[in-house]
Structure 1
Amino acid sequence: MGFFGGRFISIQKRYTSKNNIPAAVEYSEYTDGYWWSGVLEQVENITIDPITGYYLATFEGNLYKQ
């Protein structure tokens, strides 16, 4: 695993129960011809989507080129 060219990312995930929301998630994506991955920590308050009723949690952190 290489740690070159880290970049900040923020994602939002939805959950059916507030109890299922983790403190952090592992996240990977394929962008610009490379795999990027990292551990993103939960930030901000958890909100509820008024249309679907799902709990929305925001996770932020750095991704690193693999």
Structure 2
Amino acid sequence: MNKDILRIKIHFMYIVIILVFISILLCGALLIGYEGTIKTLSNSSTLLSIVLAVVAILITLWDVAG
């Protein structure tokens, strides 16, 4: 029984990853050529990078302190 559940979980993860990849490709194909989209994505990626850097610093500080 546990092996069956583990198999289902693995296949579910593969399917989710494939669907996310396909949706990213479709969104990219639909938004290609729009200049406003490029600016928005650039700003969003910069903001996301800053947030992830702060999270990484906080996790490192908690790891060292704890």
TM class, shorter-length = under 0.3
* TM-score using structure 2 length: 0.17
Higher normalized helix content (fraction of residues): 2
* TM-score using structure 1 length: 0.17
- Structure whose alpha-carbon radius of gyration is higher: 2
Higher normalized strand content (fraction of residues): 1
